Amino acid sequence: MPNAACKHHNAASRRRLRICAVVSLIVLLLLAAAVTALAITALRPRPADTTISAMRLTSVSLSPGSLSLNVTLDAVLSIRNPSPVASFAHAAGQAEVFYRGAVAADADVPPGRVGAGGNETVTLRLTVLADRLASYAPQLYGDVVGGAGDVSLTVQTTVPGTVTVLGLLRHHAVVITVCHVTVSVRRPGAQSSSCQYRTKL
Residues 187 and 128 in one domain: yes
C-alpha to C-alpha distance for 120 and 113, rounded to whole angstroms: 8
pLDDT in tens, 8-26: 556 667 777 778 878 888 8
The domain in which residue 172 lies consists of: 49-200
Contact status, residue 158 vs residue 176, Cβ threshold 8 Å: yes
Residues 65 and 33 in one domain: no
Query: pTM for the complete prediction?
Result: 0.66
Residues 36 and 133 in one domain: no
Q: Which of 139, 149, 141, 153 is nearest to 106 (CA)?
A: 153
Instruction: Determine the pLDDT at residue 39.
Output: 46
Residues 34 and 126 in one domain: no
* Structural domain count of the chain: 2
